[in-house]
Amino acid sequence: MGTQQQHQLEQDDQLEYQRDHHASEAGLVQGLRKDDLELEALDPKKTTTYEEEEEKENLGVEEELSVERIFEQQIVPSWKEQLTVRAFFISFVLSVLFSVIVMKLNLTTGIIPSLNVSAGLLGFFFVRTWTKFLDRCGLLKQPFTRQENTVIQTCVVASSSIAFSGGFGNYLFGMSARIAQQSTDNSTSDIKDPGLLWFIGFLFVVSFLGLFSVVPLRKIMIIDFKLTYPSGTATAHLINSFHTPQGAKLAKKQVKELGKFFSFSFLWGFFQWFYTAGSDCGFASFPTLGLKAYQNKFFFDFSATYVGVGMICPYIVNISVLLGGILSWGLMWPLIENRSGDWYSNELSPKSMNGLQGYKIFIAIAMILGDGLYNFLKVLSRTLIALQSQLRGKDVNNILPIEDQVSPAVTSALSYDDQRRTQLFLKDQIPAWFAVGGYVSIAAVSIATVPHIFPQLKWYYILVIYLFAPSLAFCNAYGCGLTDWSLASTYGKVAIFMIGAWAGSAHGGVLAGLAACGVMMNIVSTASDLTQDFKTGYLTLASPRSMFVSQVIGTAMGCVISPCVFWLFYKAFNDLGTPRSAYPAPFAVVYRNMAILGVEGFKSLPKHCLLLCTVFFGAAILTNVIKDCIGKKRARFVPLPVAMAVPFYLGSYFAIDMCIGSLIVFLWERVNKAKADAFVPAVASGLICGDGVWTLPASILALAGVKPPICMRFLSRAENDRVTTFLTGKA
């Protein structure tokens, strides 16, 4: 699961969040009570008072929502002036930070929360601090604007998202011999071990196509169809509020809280390091619920990262992960383990995919595929229905305005905000010939070079993908605009099965399928990301050209930074990718076994595993059907199958961390909901960032051969007596 997958889990929450943010912007315009103003500026759930309702009636709806009147006296810089050197310097620094964080999450559990708020907040803080310093010295030449803030946020998110879509925790690492040893094929031929240079080369030739594929249709997405893009809209409202006097004051307080918990998290990670001199040592192996529970992966591992993740994730996500852990490690795996000798041989290695490990992996795959298939069909059908209704009654020749055409949506009936935003959005056009030429040129280079990196992936496989990719990229971007669901990983899984089956096992189908997954996943992911950035830019008056350039530069940064960060992890931790390591990379095994399943069929499954997979595949679909049929209020209590599937392989230790994060938020909201809504994202980001940054010095110490001095391990009383007797007798 990644930043996109996290959005998939809670579309209703995101839609409500976007609508509520309009109310918060209205509060900025109307002058709320002075003592609450600082919190209400960024409080997405703050209810309006009776006095505010009276003001709404007096001011009118247009004035109520007129954010642009606040900034009416500010000159909007040209698209070139929005692209400043300081913006990209800050973007580079934050890109390294966020790439480390995303990589760590990607290689541990694969659950990655949205870090857009953190990127926007930190970008605002760093540049505002720098510009204030220059202003006091009389050296400030260009003030800091919300457009520049949007450029920073876009660049950072584009760069750090490569740490997920680049496949370091799934399809690329799944090609390695280390992961193959844990899979059903255990192949020595259909593998490709990690390499820094070919990682960078592969990402450069596949990561930019998605940017060019949707550029010609940006106007129909944002202006004509008025797609919501809840995450992009919420980010834009956040940036707008930062740049009001009250919002800037609150942002300063948020950054202060972020800094406190960043320091705590970093120092806590440093403290824990001293006690990890061996395997199963340290606080991360603390049997907080007892030794038996610890053996079944139920314990609190004192991870500041996943407490922070739990604070950001919706309650139902955290509960779903915990339920999945209880169902699998608390019930199913002990029962299947009792069948050893009947269902599978007692002599098999614990890592063998023909034993218990096979049930863990393939049942999780079945749930992920069932959930993905249902949501793919649901979003695709919604997309087609909405597209048909949008086009009905309109002139199709005029409804695809690529440049310089008058939009039927641009009328005098628009509000002041929409008129101003539309005018500036249409001002800086990106020529259609540039987008089409860029796509064709990069596609040609990719078709020529990717087969040299992966000989199993023939040039005609890639050509077929690129012929269909623009349509799929459009569907993903359009569906994301409607529901906030990016199905990039689902499109990638489709490519695994289709290309893998086409190539066949005799011609390297496993490697071909995984490589095709990377090609497809990068295209549709960057396409939806860029369109969402266009929406953010539209609402902050940032030029489409500056958004496109920022996305391109951020993607280029990510193509270098992310492989380097992964290489640091790979070289520093020799057990990376193994089940009992600190970085098990669970989805690498999952993706490789998907590729094996697509090439070899069901013969690779252990006994009765196919029946169990069928049951859980159907259960995932049925759960989604029930969730969609019972209404929003009741659907909040229905668990999410894709979240339940994650602990099937890993266990529940991180779920307990995440649930503790949810408990902290719940209690905080009970005590002071306004402060909780304002400061929870900052506190959670501080916990995640501090622990993530500690990973860098920990990796450097490991590369330098510096080992922790102490092993803190927990033993049962009987084991402790035996150890004491042995040591005493030896002495």
Q: How far apart are the first and last CA of the chain?
A: 52
Provide the pLDDT for residue 61: 39
Closest among 18, 45, 73, 87 to 236, alpha carbons compared: 18
Closest among 521, 544, 523 to 532, alpha carbons compared: 544
Which residue is it, tokens 């069928």? 614
More confident residue, 567 or 633: 567
User: How far apart, in Å, are the Cα atoms of 283 and each of 163, 275, 472, 572?
Assistant: 27, 8, 46, 20
Provide the pLDDT for residue 427: 86
**Which of 120-124, 388-392, 454-458 has the highest mean predicted lDDT (pLDDT)?**
454-458
Predicted confidence band of residue 339 (pLDDT cuts 50, 70, 90) = confident
Provide the pLDDT for residue 413: 57
pLDDT at 400 over 90: no
Provide the pLDDT for residue 394: 53
Provide the pLDDT for residue 186: 58
pLDDT at 391 over 90: no
Burial letters 76-102, b for 16+ CB under 10 A, else e: bbebeebbbebbbebbbebbbbbbbbb
203-223: pLDDT as tens digits:
999 999 989 988 887 888 888
Question: Are 425 and 220 contacting, i.e. CB atoms less than 8 angstroms apart?
Answer: no
pLDDT at 81 over 90: yes
pLDDT at 46 over 70: no
pLDDT at 527 over 60: yes
Q: CA Rg, the chain, in Å? A: 26
Predicted confidence band of residue 54 (pLDDT cuts 50, 70, 90) = very low
Please tell me the distance from the alpha carbon of residue 208 to that of residue 457, in angstroms, as a whole number.
19
User: How far apart, in Å, are the Cα atoms of 336 and each of 328, 360, 368, 607?
Assistant: 10, 10, 21, 11
314-336: pLDDT as tens digits:
888 889 989 999 999 999 999 99
Closest among 402, 466, 472 to 435, alpha carbons compared: 402
Closest among 420, 514, 499, 494 to 464, alpha carbons compared: 499
Please tell me the distance from the alpha carbon of residue 270 to that of residue 708, in angstroms, as a whole number.
10
Provide the pLDDT for residue 1: 44
Out of 387-391, 634-638, 702-706, least confident range = 387-391
Provide the pLDDT for residue 183: 77
Backbone φ and ψ of 724, nearest 5°: -60, -45
- Let me know how many helices (H) and strands (E) the chain has, helices first: 33, 0
> What DSSP designation does 42 have?
T
Share of the chain above pLDDT 70, in %: 86
Which residue is it, tokens 């902290």? 664
More confident residue, 56 or 701: 701
Predicted confidence band of residue 730 (pLDDT cuts 50, 70, 90) = low
pLDDT at 122 over 90: no
Please tell me the distance from the alpha carbon of residue 40 to that of residue 43, in angstroms, as a whole number.
5
Share of the chain above pLDDT 90, in %: 31
Provide the pLDDT for residue 115: 76
Please tell me the distance from the alpha carbon of residue 112 to that of residue 101, in angstroms, as a whole number.
9
Amino acid identity of residue 256, one-letter, is K
User: How far apart, in Å, are the Cα atoms of 624 and each of 376, 460, 490, 641?
Assistant: 12, 37, 16, 8
More confident residue, 483 or 269: 269
Out of 191-195, 206-210, 359-363, least confident range = 359-363
Which residue is it, tokens 């679909």? 621
Q: Is the dihedral of CA 23, 24, 27, 33 positive or negative?
A: positive
pLDDT at 182 over 70: yes
528-585: pLDDT as tens digits:
889 989 999 999 999 999 999 999 999 999 999 999 999 999 999 888 888 878 888 8
Please tell me the distance from the alpha carbon of residue 513 to that of residue 499, in angstroms, as a whole number.
5
Enter the pTM of the model: 0.78
583-592: pLDDT as tens digits:
888 889 889 9
Partnered with residue 344 across adjacent β-strands are: 340
Closest among 50, 43, 2 to 23, alpha carbons compared: 43
Pair of tokens at residue 333: 């795996």
Closest among 729, 78, 667 to 315, alpha carbons compared: 667
- Average pLDDT over the chain reads 82
Q: Is the dihedral of CA 465, 466, 468, 469 positive or negative?
A: positive
Question: Are 3 and 623 contacting, i.e. CB atoms less than 8 angstroms apart?
Answer: no
Angle 94-100-105 (CA atoms, 0-180°, nearest 5)? 125
Backbone φ and ψ of 485, nearest 5°: -100, 120
Predicted confidence band of residue 255 (pLDDT cuts 50, 70, 90) = confident
Predicted confidence band of residue 646 (pLDDT cuts 50, 70, 90) = confident
Provide the pLDDT for residue 604: 67
Predicted confidence band of residue 438 (pLDDT cuts 50, 70, 90) = very high
Partnered with residue 340 across adjacent β-strands are: 344
pLDDT at 10 over 70: no
Closest among 449, 698, 721, 456 to 569, alpha carbons compared: 698
CB under 8 Å to 350, separation ≥6 — which residues?
Answer: 356, 357
Please tell me the distance from the alpha carbon of residue 389 to that of residue 382, in angstroms, as a whole number.
11
pLDDT at 399 over 70: no
Provide the pLDDT for residue 192: 92
Average of pLDDT values for 38-60? Answer: 37
| Burial degree of 34 (CB within 10 A; 0-12, 13-18, 19+) | exposed
Amino acid identity of residue 426, one-letter, is L
Provide the pLDDT for residue 483: 64
More confident residue, 180 or 354: 180
Average of pLDDT values for 234-248? Answer: 83
Please tell me the distance from the alpha carbon of residue 465 to that of residue 453, in angstroms, as a whole number.
17
> What DSSP designation does 217 have?
G
Amino acid identity of residue 224, one-letter, is D
Provide the pLDDT for residue 556: 96
Please tell me the distance from the alpha carbon of residue 641 to that of residue 624, in angstroms, as a whole number.
8
484-526: pLDDT as tens digits:
767 788 888 889 988 998 998 778 899 999 999 999 999 999 9
Which residue is it, tokens 């280029």? 556
CB under 8 Å to 723, separation ≥6 — which residues?
Answer: 715
Count CA within 13 A, CB hemisphere, residue 378. 21
pLDDT at 406 over 60: no
